[in-house]
A = this chain, B = another copy of it.
Amino acid sequence: MEYIDGGVCAAKGFKAAGGHCGLKGSGKPDLALIMSEVPARAAAVYTKNVVQAAPIHVTKRHLQTGLAQAVIVNSGNANACAPQGEENALAMCRYTAQALAIPVEAVAVASTGVIGKSMTPLMDRVRTGTQDLAARLSAEGSGGAARAIMTTDTVKKEAAVSIALSGKPVHIGAITKGSGMIHPNMGTMLCFITTDAAISADALKSALNAAVKTSFNRISVDGDTSTNDMCLILANGLAENPELTEADTDFKDFTDALTGLCVKLARAMAADGEGATHLITCTVTGAESIATAESIAKAVIASSLVKAAIFGGDANWGRVLCAMGYSGVVFDPERVAVAFCSEKGEITVCEKGRGLTFDEALAAAVLSAHEVVIAVDMGCGEAECTCWGCDLTYAYVKINGDYRS
């Protein structure tokens, strides 16, 4: 598995484009289009929020065929809890279908932005914008598309990998966005993945579920699960590998590559969490099961107090133990060890559930790195899990105290 350039257009037969159609007052890019030359197998996972945005409903319906050929995405308006939501989401698919001369059911749609604002007055702009993007689709369009789906993100997020399946080079690429309203419970963001692998519908679904489970479902920015999250994959088969099924030995390679790609993007999302100055990685080892390790790691990265401590460069491991304690997992605190690690060094601050005297200067140095690892050893088993989050900063409060206006 090798990381390559090209993002969502790295796989054979995929083009993309992004631009500004007028949904954002700022003039920033707000509309993205991804297209496969040929119909592609499609699978997706969606937010588990009970309140789901209109594009989620429409995309679910369209993907019932198991195929899709294009994805239209806007930022600046979530099209959630808004009048005429379904009509407008469907209209976005129709504009795309007309511009690309494909069936409307072959189009997936996603939106991100403010909840509760009607898109109706802006639909003319969306139509014109879609036509414009369709005319500008290109194999170099990943960056433009990645920028157009950003909301409070500060950097665009794209990545791609190449692997060999049965001797054929296969590519997987993706763009993603997500900065606030991010919490482990499916996607919690938008992610669009493309691959030229030939793969059965079941295998594609299974690989996507496995990849999401250990990547996007293991990050948290603020504990809020959004109404609009979607992670969608298109596989167009143009790599001409023998069609992959779950029984093939290659299936693990494909899933591993997809997972690696998703983990890379998940880490990028956590690091770019609203207002973040640190990427927080919590590794839990020595646990009884992966499930308990995951619950513990999630509680730690989601704790406001842990997040604020890391922002302040404070090796306040008591808050780590406290978060572990309310994670819902029953464990023996007397076996727990906690260390803080980074490229600047490593410092063990707690052993057998008791605080150690430690070098505060070294601790401050360790915590000054951009990525801080909170390493928890439960001392009671072999299972482990890693989750990612970010610190809680003044900027998070500023961004979210004044987002809608």
Chain A interfacial positions (CB closer than 8 Å to B): 48-52, 78, 80-83, 114-118, 180-181, 183, 185, 222-227, 302-305, 308-309, 311-319, 321-327, 329-331, 333, 350, 353-355, 392-394, 396-405
Whether A185 pairs with B50 at a CB distance below 8 angstroms is no
Chain B min CB distance to A216 (Å)? 15
Chain B min CB distance to A21 (Å)? 22
User: Contacts A116-B355, A322-B49 given: A181-B333 contact, CB under 8 Å?
Assistant: no
Contacts of A50 in B (CB 8 A): 324-327, 329-331, 333
Contacts of A181 in B (CB 8 A): 305, 322
Whether B318 pairs with A115 at a CB distance below 8 angstroms is yes
A118 to B116, CA, bound (A): 52
A342 to B143, CA, bound (A): 46
Closest-by-CB residue of B relative to A225 is B326
User: Contacts A83-B355, A397-B311, A400-B308 given: A51-B114 contact, CB under 8 Å?
Assistant: no
- The one of B81, B309, B321, B399 in contact with A318, judged by C-beta atoms closer than 8 angstroms, is B81
Looking at A52, A309, A325, A355, the one whose CB has the most chain B CB atoms below 10 A away is: A325
Whether A325 pairs with B49 at a CB distance below 8 angstroms is yes
Whether A304 pairs with B51 at a CB distance below 8 angstroms is no
A308 to B304, CA, bound (A): 13
Whether A400 pairs with B309 at a CB distance below 8 angstroms is yes
A selection of 28 A-B contacts at a CB cut-off of 8 Å is A50-B326, A50-B331, A51-B322, A51-B324, A80-B321, A81-B333, A81-B353, A82-B354, A115-B318, A116-B317, A181-B322, A183-B326, A222-B304, A223-B223, A223-B302, A227-B318, A227-B321, A304-B304, A304-B396, A309-B400, A309-B403, A312-B400, A312-B403, A314-B401, A318-B404, A392-B400, A394-B394, A394-B397
Other than A50-B330, A52-B325, give 13 A-B pairs with Cβ distance below 8 A: A50-B324, A50-B333, A114-B318, A116-B318, A181-B305, A181-B322, A223-B223, A223-B304, A312-B400, A313-B401, A314-B402, A314-B405, A393-B397
A81 to B48, CA, bound (A): 37
Whether B394 pairs with A354 at a CB distance below 8 angstroms is no
Contacts of A321 in B (CB 8 A): 51, 80-81, 115-116, 227
Contacts of A118 in B (CB 8 A): 355
Contacts of A223 in B (CB 8 A): 223, 302-304
Looking at A223, A322, A330, A398, the one whose CB has the most chain B CB atoms below 10 A away is: A322
A229 to B1, CA, bound (A): 50
Chain B min CB distance to A331 (Å)? 6
A318 to B113, CA, bound (A): 11
A322 to B80, CA, bound (A): 10
Chain B min CB distance to A334 (Å)? 9
Whether B224 pairs with A312 at a CB distance below 8 angstroms is no
A183 to B78, CA, bound (A): 30
A326 to B397, CA, bound (A): 21
A226 to B305, CA, bound (A): 11
Closest-by-CB residue of B relative to A322 is B227
Whether A224 pairs with B51 at a CB distance below 8 angstroms is no
Chain B min CB distance to A202 (Å)? 28
Contacts of A327 in B (CB 8 A): 50
Whether B81 pairs with A401 at a CB distance below 8 angstroms is no
Whether B82 pairs with A355 at a CB distance below 8 angstroms is yes
Closest-by-CB residue of B relative to A78 is B318
Whether B350 pairs with A224 at a CB distance below 8 angstroms is no
